[in-house]
């Protein structure tokens, strides 16, 4: 059954839900364990302090969702939309966010460890000063994003889009950067390792070595 259901409670552990409308629900401080949501809507929902463990949100819409202080452990948000979402002080622990889009979302401060952001759209997102070390951003769209002072050591940035990305003070040492267009962004103040420096130099037509 579809429709606005502001008073519905959180589902039981292991539930599988498809095509439901959870607009404006209030699940403040709720705990979800092993729940799967497919093509569900959470427009303007109150999910502050929510805790999820091994949950799956697939093709869900979370426009205007309020999720401050939420903690997600091993959960997956696959091809979801977080338009104008307030994701302040969220913890993402071992989560998959592949293919999701975050237009106008507030993402910092946040804590993220061992997450997969591949194929996400983070265009114009403010991620400045965050520790994103070791995380995966393969083929992510980071156009015009603010990554100043970010720790991106050992991150996977292969074929990510970095046109106009702000990177001053960021640390990229040890990050994989295959397929990155080194001409698309400003490298002033960015920390690189030797291999990356060679890639950058080669992309500008210089010959390295004998």
Q: Which CATH architecture has domain 117-204?
A: 3 Solenoid (2.160)
CA distance 27 to 46: 6
Cis (ω within 30 of 0) for the bond into 109?
yes
pTM given for the model: 0.89
The count of other CB atoms within 10 Å of the CB of residue 155 is 23
Structure tokens belonging to residue 30: 């709720």
Residue of 110, 116, 23 lying closest to 62 (CA atoms) = 23
CA distance 179 to 156: 11
- Residue 103 burial (C-beta neighbours within 10 Å; 0-12, 13-18, 19+): middle
Q: What is the chain's pLDDT, residue by residue, as a tens digit (210 residues)?
A: 344 455 588 999 999 999 999 999 999 999 999 999 999 999 999 999 999 999 999 999 999 999 999 999 999 999 999 999 999 999 999 999 999 999 999 999 999 999 999 999 999 999 999 999 999 999 999 999 999 999 999 999 999 999 999 999 999 999 999 998 888 888 888 898 888 777 766 665 445 455
CA distance 72 to 95: 7
How much is the pLDDT for 3? 42
Q: Where does CATH 2.160.20.80 sit in the chain?
A: 1-87, 117-204
Strands 36-38 and 56-58: parallel
Strands 16-18 and 36-38: parallel
Q: Which CATH architecture has domain 1-87?
A: 3 Solenoid (2.160)
How much is the pLDDT for 199? 75
- Taking CA atoms, 59 is separated from 22, 26, 56, in Å, by 14, 21, 10
**3-class secondary-structure state, position 16:** strand
Structure tokens belonging to residue 145: 């994003």
């Amino acid at each position: 059954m579809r429709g606005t259901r502001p008073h519905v409670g959180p589902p039981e552990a292991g539930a599988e839900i498809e095509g439901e409308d959870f607009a404006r629900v209030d699940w403040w401080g709720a705990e979800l364990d092993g729940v799967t949501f497919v093509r569900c809507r959470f427009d303007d929902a109150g999910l502050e302090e929510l805790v999820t463990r091994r949950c799956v949100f697939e093709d869900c819409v979370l426009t205007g969702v309020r999720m401050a202080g939420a903690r997600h452990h091993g959960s997956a948000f696959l091809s979801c939309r977080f338009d104008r979402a307030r994701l302040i002080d969220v913890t993402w622990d071992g989560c998959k966010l592949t293919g999701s889009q975050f237009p106008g979302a507030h993402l910092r401060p946040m804590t993220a460890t061992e997450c997969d952001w591949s194929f996400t759209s983070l265009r114009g997102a403010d991620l400045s000063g965050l520790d994103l070390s070791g995380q995966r951003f393969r083929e992510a769209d980071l156009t015009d994003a603010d990554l100043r002072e970010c720790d991106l050591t050992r991150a996977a940035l292969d074929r990510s889009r970095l046109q106009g990305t702000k990177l001053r003070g960021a640390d990229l040492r040890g990050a994989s950067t295959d397929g990155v267009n080194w001409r698309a962004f400003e490298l002033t103040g960015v920390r690189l390792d030797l291999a990356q420096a060679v890639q950058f130099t080669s992309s500008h037509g210089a010959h390295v070595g004998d």
